[in-house]
Amino acid sequence: MATSKIFHIGIDLGTSQSSIVTSTGSRVSTKTCVGYPKDVISQKRLNKEHLLGEEALKNRLALDLVWPLAEGVICSDKKSKEATQLVLQDLITSTLPKLGDTDKVYAAIGVPALASVQDKKTIIDITKDFIDKIIIVSEPFAVAYGIDRFDECLIVDIGAGTTDLCRMYGSIPTEDDQRTLTEAGNFLDNEIMNAIWEKFPDVQLTPQIIQWIKEKYGYVSDNSDPAIVTLTKEGKPDSYDITGILHESCLKLSNAISKAVQSLVSDFDPDFQEILRNNIIVAGGGSRLMGIDKAIEKSLDNYGGGKAICVQDVEFCGANGCLKMCQEMPESYWDKI
């Protein structure tokens, strides 16, 4: 008779990208999207009920794409709940392919900082058939846990749908210690797209083109190399200088984040404000934006200055924290869930 095993997993459930890290050492990251064939022709060609992640994006012209966490939380419609379930199930089966019938999966899943009780209940409901025990944690708290920062620090997790901020000071943070902003990666994409169209109304743009532009040229520092990109107009390629457009768009994101940082610093215990503003940790995909750490530091000049650093393992930092939390949780705690 086979001995049952307990597998621990940490998942960072993101608007654009979701990642998993397991106790077996597996790590996988995928786009948080599901594609459904548009018609009988695409169904016959693809020969699948649905496609996931990069495969869905590659075949997007033949699919109806669903981004179930488009607003930073699980959309309430049935299709979005099903898509979220498929993404989570695929992450687990791709990293734990040899699960036995008696094996158990314990999971910690990171969600936006102020996700509602209903959002958390939805995740529990859609995973009940393939996760045995589950805890839902705030994404910035997961980042802090993963890098062992429980002392006075401020986590800024810049995702696609939301930017989540959380003060840490040695105990579980309250709602007052957290902020969730809609100014995040998707917000920046829309700002860049609209700004380009305002100046060059006839160029042809797609979300994929904008994302490439942002990742290659986006910056909030005072100086940058010129951003000269090749775009098409009526199918004809030409070069366009979008340096100023890009900078102004990126500043809208960094300014919103800086205001939230100022708010969390200014109403913190005054004896510890200096420590807090000198220990700011920037995570999430948005931490790759050139100069974002320096922009946050500059915004604190009137408060006495600050120090911000960006995490190294951007893609898996949140999932690593979730796994660590999962593995270190006492068995007596799991028994109560």
Local confidence band at 120 (pLDDT 50, 70, 90 cut-offs): confident
> Above 80 in pLDDT, residue 337?
no
With a CB cutoff of 8 Å and minimum separation 6, the contacts of 282 are: 156, 158, 292, 293, 296, 308, 309, 310, 311
Class of domain 6-32+67-144+316-334 (CATH, top level): alpha beta
Local confidence band at 307 (pLDDT 50, 70, 90 cut-offs): very high
Using alpha carbons only, what angle is made at residue 292 by residues 27 and 17, rounded to the nearest 5 degrees?
A: 30
Local confidence band at 336 (pLDDT 50, 70, 90 cut-offs): low
The answer to whether the 6-32+67-144+316-334 and 148-310 domains have the same CATH topology is yes
> Above 80 in pLDDT, residue 115?
no
Look-up of token digits 């901020």: 165
pTM of the model: 0.88
Local confidence band at 335 (pLDDT 50, 70, 90 cut-offs): low
Query: Which CATH topology does 148-310 take?
Result: Nucleotidyltransferase; domain 5 (3.30.420)
> Above 80 in pLDDT, residue 123?
yes
Give per-residue pLDDT as tens, 150-176.
888 999 999 988 899 999 988 888 889
Domains of the chain by residue range: 6-32+67-144+316-334, 148-310
Predicted pLDDT of residue 151: 85
Residue 304 CB neighbours (<10 A): 11
Instruction: Output the six-digit token pair for 115.
Output: 């996700």
Q: Among 23-32, 44-53, 324-333, where is mean pLDDT lowest?
A: 324-333
Alpha carbons 223 and 202: distance in angstroms, whole number: 28
Mean pLDDT across 262-270: 95
Helix or strand run (H / E) with residue 163: strand 163-168
With a CB cutoff of 8 Å and minimum separation 6, the contacts of 115 are: 73, 136, 138
Residue 224 CB neighbours (<10 A): 16
pLDDT mean across residues, the chain: 91
Predicted pLDDT of residue 54: 94
